[in-house]
A and B are shown apart, each in its own frame.
Chain A
Amino acid sequence: MENNKIRVALAGNPNVGKTTLFNAITGSRQHVGNWPGVTVEKKSGTKIYKGYEIEIIDLPGTYSLTAYSMDEIVARDFIIEEKPDIVIQIVDASNLERNLYLTTQLMELQTEMIIALNMCDLALERGDKLYLDKMEEILAAPVVKTVASRNIGIEELLDKVIEEKNNEQYHGHEIGYGDEIEGMILEIEKVLIADQELADRYPLRWISIRLLEGDMNVMEKISKSPASVAINDLLDSIDQEEYEADIADKRYETINAIFPQLCTRCNVKLSKSDMIDRVLTNKYLGIPIFLALMWGAFELTFAFATPFTGMIEIGFTWLANIVADSLQPAWLASLIGDGIIGGVGAVLTFVPNIFILFFLLSLLEGSGYLSRAAFIMDRLMYKIGMHGKSFIPMLMGFGCNVPAIMATRSIEDEKDRLITILVVPFVSCGARLPIYILFAGTFFGRQAGTVVFMMYVLGIAVAVASAKLLRATLVKGKPAPFIMEMPPYRVPTLKTSLIHMWDNGAMYIKKAGSIILLGVVIIWLLASFPWGIEYGSEASYVGMIGHIFEPVMEPLGFDWKITVSLIFGFVAKEIVVASMGVLFGVGDNPEALTQSLIADPAITALSSLSLMVFSLLYMPCVATLGVIKKETGSWKWTLFALIYGVTIAWIIAFIVYQGGKLLGY
């Protein structure tokens, strides 16, 4: 065994500066991925310090280590199954009571622990007194003061890690649960100890306590053990709900008893945060301020992203032209130019939006406002069968569905999250706007603005109706309860926001990128073959498909040309407009395209309205499908999103077109 390697797990409540501390230790040497089998994000990094290679694993932020959420199971399984050398618990010095609840549970896992008392500056500033010596004595663990946002205490913390690693002796402290419960714990331990394998693997006291609390996940762990029958008999004899309450009571009782020895808190009646909240969550001002902030975020996103998106588009067009002019044979030039370069370009045009949206999201999260947004919107969302936390991702969908679906990661409940992922694609993203502008502008004259607005409203209405429908059918049940900490407002750290932005942007490029490229190449093949035809013309496979589907699309008012451009829109919805340019033989001359649309007898105001409706709803673009696959981890739901979208789009476009015809338009 190598002795200069140390594995350290970071545990802690959400909003205590865990990510900031992780970034402060590891800097850029980090790796982001998923925990095996689940969509919970796993971050790890290494730090070379005083000749030691310290691997830091950032566990999900949790308030507790019961099996309430996937996050909690992941965190505790890592500690009991992987047995890291040391667990650092990051504790918010200004909020000791609740933070110590997790400490009591970590103690029961019998792991070497160090406490990083973070954000000491805030606690001391407001006049709290912290007694570190007493804390070390009572908790039987080293305590280090840190201010992660200013890199204070990091070296001391790492020194302690090395010291603890070389300190063979385990020291720990346990909570007593009173005679009755302790008696039961002993009895269960007696039964469990018969199973040697189990006893070697897990701390038996911890298993016993978890069983008394009715932890299904731990029940499963012991289900294969010969001891499980006797355990079940024992558990049947108690009132589990009572035990659950008593155990939690006891933990808090213990904390109450030791708390006054650890710190004296100066009781500020109205903190800065409370004053800010008096305005930001005010009965009358709360919602207008929220909407104004969101509007501002979008303005910022587009203001910053548009020039970059433009540059990427120009750059890739230029590159594609060079390839087309210089490469031989022509099919190879087309594959590389139209297919690969065009495809990579399509992937990359989303990147500026994604980076900026994630940067802003991280600022909102770091400041503490994200919890307020959920608080303000929960009532409305609950009525449509969703959770307050779903609102921000849906709103982000107006910019781009891709980051919106990635942002659903903040929703803990699997069902709430799945529904949000499935309805986000109906929120009209920026890429659909060029389609509306072309057709509404061409056929609706002065009403164009109203028509475009109606598209946005329709998107929201379909999203809401779909959420309700899904709740009643495939994803039954009520939204998860809203139990949310409202953390104090803080100034977000730039470093954390930049890292968050980079991680998510890079993840999009890496993971979604491959699926997008695949989609793009398929479309290219369909548009280029059979051999020798003009790219994307009537004679190509895509043209044939257009003809095959024409009878299905005809009731919506679409001929084969529109059908073909809709197929191209799968790559990215704004491509619908560009491919119409190709099919009408006018290239990217908008004036000429408008003229030929008006001249084409197959396209009327009504069929163009139907087309806008269909484009809004018909299917998530390939980038969105890529992230749906990634975030749900399921081809089944990805396929469902596709088929459901097309079906809904067809039905509503049918109603619009046939209804319009009946009304005489």
Chain B
Amino acid sequence: MSEITLDTLKPGDLAKITKVRVKGHTRRKLFDMGMVAGSEIELIRKAPLGDPIEFRIKGYNLSIRKDEARQIFVHII
């Protein structure tokens, strides 16, 4: 299974997080919000201007910027 980054998903794509490469403070926050390895994540939609992106994870909706999404690795399931 090939690893891709979270920002390359399309609306409706379901994936599983494999690695969070974000550094520092933001890393902590992402963990707290459920962005941990093994979590299932679905891309719901992109904002009208293309960024941020809204995901569904752990049963709720979370939006993050592409900058962070690019550093989160997933594989499609």
Give the interface of A toward B (CB within 8 A): 63-64, 66, 68, 95-98, 101, 213, 241, 244-245, 248-249, 252-253, 265, 273-274, 277, 281-284, 286-287, 375-376, 378-380, 382, 388, 481-487
Contact of B31 among A248, A283, A382, A486 (CB under 8 A): A248
Judge whether A244 and B48 touch: CB under 8 Å.
Answer: no
From 26 to 64 in chain B, residues with beta carbon under 8 angstroms from any chain A beta carbon are 26-34, 36-39, 44-52, 54, 58-64
- Do residues B45 and A252 form an inter-chain contact, with CB atoms below 8 A? no
Kindly list chain B residues whose C-beta atoms are within 8 Å of the C-beta of A286: 47-48
B46: chain A residues at CB < 8 Å are 283
B13 interface residue, CB < 8 Å from A? no
By the criterion CB–CB under 8 Å, are A378 and B47 in contact?
Answer: yes
B52–A482 touching, CB < 8 Å: yes
Give the residue name and chain of the A residue nearest to B57 (CB): A98
Known: A66-B32, A273-B61, A382-B65. 18 other contacts (CB 8 A): A68-B28, A97-B34, A97-B58, A244-B27, A248-B32, A248-B36, A252-B38, A252-B39, A282-B48, A283-B46, A284-B48, A378-B52, A379-B50, A483-B68, A484-B62, A485-B33, A485-B61, A487-B60
Nearest A-chain residue to B44, judged by Cβ: A274
Asked whether A486 lies within 8 Å of B54 as measured between CB atoms, the reply is yes
| Closest-CB distance, B33 to chain A (whole angstroms) | 6
Looking at the assembled complex, report how far the CB atom of B12 sits from the nearest CB atom of chain A, in whole angstroms: 11
Distance of A95 Cα from B57 Cα, bound (Å): 11
Cβ–Cβ contact A379 & B34, under 8 A: no
Q: How many angstroms from the CA of A64 to the CA of B33 in the assembled complex?
A: 8
Pairwise interchain contact B26-A283, C-beta atoms closer than 8 A: no
Residues of B within 8 A of A265 (CB): 59
When C-beta atoms are compared, the residue in chain B nearest to A284 turns out to be: B48
Contacts of A252 in B (CB 8 A): 34, 36, 38-39, 58
A64, B36: Cα distance in complex, Å: 14
Instruction: Determine if A379 and B49 form an interchain contact, defined as CB atoms under 8 angstroms apart.
Output: yes
Min C-beta distance of A188 to chain B, whole Å: 19
Residue in B26, B29, B37, B63 whose CB lies within 8 Å of A245: B37
Bound CA span A482–B61, Å: 13
- Determine the chain A residues whose CB is within 8 A of the CB of B63 once the complex forms: 375, 482-484, 486
Q: How far is the CB of B9 from chain A (nearest CB, A)?
A: 16
Nearest Cβ in chain B — how far from A16, in angstroms? Answer: 11
Contact yes or no, B37 A283, CB < 8 A: no
Residues of A within 8 A of B65 (CB): 378, 382, 481-482
CB within 8 Å of A: which B1-43 residues: 20, 25-34, 36-39
Task: Check if B47 sits within 8 Å of A481, measured CB to CB.
Answer: no
Pick from A245, A248, A253, A286 the residue with the most CB of B within 10 Å: A248
A-B residue pair count with CB separations less than 8 angstroms: 116
The interface size of chain B toward A, counting residues with CB under 8 Å, comes to 35
A245, B45: Cα distance in complex, Å: 27
Q: Select one of B26, B32, B38 contacting A481, CB under 8 A.
A: B26
Once the chains bind, are A486 and B61 in contact (CB under 8 Å)?
yes
> Which residues of B lie under 8 Å from residue A376 when comparing CB positions?
47-49
Query: What 5 A-B pairs are tightest by C-beta distance, nearest first?
Result: A248-B31, A64-B32, A379-B49, A286-B48, A486-B61
- The contact of B68 among A96, A273, A277, A481, by CB within 8 Å, is A481
**Given A375-B54, A379-B52 in contact, is the A98-B33 Cβ separation under 8 Å?**
yes
- When distances are taken between beta carbons in the complex, the residues of chain A under 8 Å from B54 are 281, 375, 486
- State A244–B38 Cα separation when bound (angstroms): 15
Q: Across the interface, which residues of A come within 8 angstroms of B45, CB to CB?
A: 277, 281
List of A residues within 8 angstroms of B49 by Cβ: 287, 376, 379-380
Chain B residues near A284 (CB-CB < 8 A)? 48
Determine how close the nearest CB of chain A comes to the CB of B77; give it in whole angstroms: 16
| CB-nearest residue of chain B to A288 | B48
**B61: which A residues are within 8 A, CB to CB?**
273, 485-487
A403 to chain B, nearest CB (A): 26
Most chain A C-beta atoms within 10 Å of own C-beta, residue among B26, B32, B58, B59: B32
> From B68, which residue of chain A is reached at the shortest CB distance?
A481
Ordered by A's residue number, 6 sampled pairs between the chains whose C-beta atoms are within 8 Å are: A98-B60, A245-B31, A248-B32, A253-B38, A379-B51, A483-B26
Q: Nearest chain-A residue to B45 (Cβ)?
A: A281
Residue in A63, A95, A213, A382 whose beta carbon sits within 8 Å of that of B33 in the complex: A63
Smallest CB separation, B37 vs chain A (Å)? 6
Other-chain residue from B36, B48, B51, B62 in contact with A486 (beta carbon distance below 8 A): B62
Chain A residue with minimal CB distance to B67?
A481
B60 x A95 contact (CB < 8 A): yes
Most buried by A among B25, B37, B58: B58
Chain B residue numbers with a CB within 8 Å of A482 are: 52, 63-65
| Contact B26–A66 (Cβ < 8 Å) | no
